[in-house]
Amino acid sequence: MIEAEEAEEIGVEHLLRDIKDSTTTTLSTRVAEQLASLRGLQYRLTDIRNYLQDVARGKMPVNHQIIYNLQDALNLLPDLNNSVLTQSFSSTTNDELLVVYLSSLMRAVIALHTLVDNKASIGRAELGESEEKDEKAEGDKEGEKEKEAKEAKAE
């Protein structure tokens, strides 16, 4: 068994709090990763645009393999002029946002319920303490009356 002073234990606890577990992710890390991915995508799209502009100006020769790959990638993109597809995207997005809204609402209701329960339990505890004090005070009064009655009999 290793002995440690209280200050040392507190220092170790603070250090352990700062160590991040690589298996857990938080919302902020997920958002940071998404942002880094979007920045990488923007960088690559800028490179593609610059390449296509240089080819159009005649500064670079046409590389047909790059053009074929770009054509394949662009053919995979959805046709946003199709009203059925845009309606489907809107519906899906609305459904997802509804789930987010409902979960936020449920969290708020649960938090309020917990608050009310805590308030009620504190009230019951205070009421129990005041009843105990009242019973003790009544017991002390009865004890004094009995003592006075015994003293009166003794006289």
The pLDDT, as a whole number, for residue 109 is: 93
> Which residues have C-beta within 8 Å of that of residue 12, sequence separation ≥ 6?
4
The pLDDT, as a whole number, for residue 31 is: 84
- 21-40 in b/e form (b: 16+ CB < 10 A) is eeeeeeeeeeeeeeeeeeee
The pLDDT, as a whole number, for residue 22 is: 57
Inter-residue contact 138 to 130 (CB < 8 Å) = no
Name the token pair of 46: 């800028």
pLDDT truncated to tens, each residue of the chain (155 aa)? 455 566 666 666 766 666 655 555 677 788 888 999 999 999 999 999 999 999 999 999 999 999 999 999 999 988 888 888 889 989 999 999 999 999 989 999 999 999 999 988 888 888 877 777 766 666 666 666 666 766 766 66
The pLDDT, as a whole number, for residue 132 is: 73
The CA distance from 59 to 149, in Å, is: 118
The pLDDT, as a whole number, for residue 58 is: 94
Q: Is the pTM of this model over 0.75?
A: no
Q: Say which residue the tokens 């708020």 belong to.
A: 108
Compute how many other C-beta atoms are within 10 angstroms of the C-beta atom of residue 55. Answer: 15
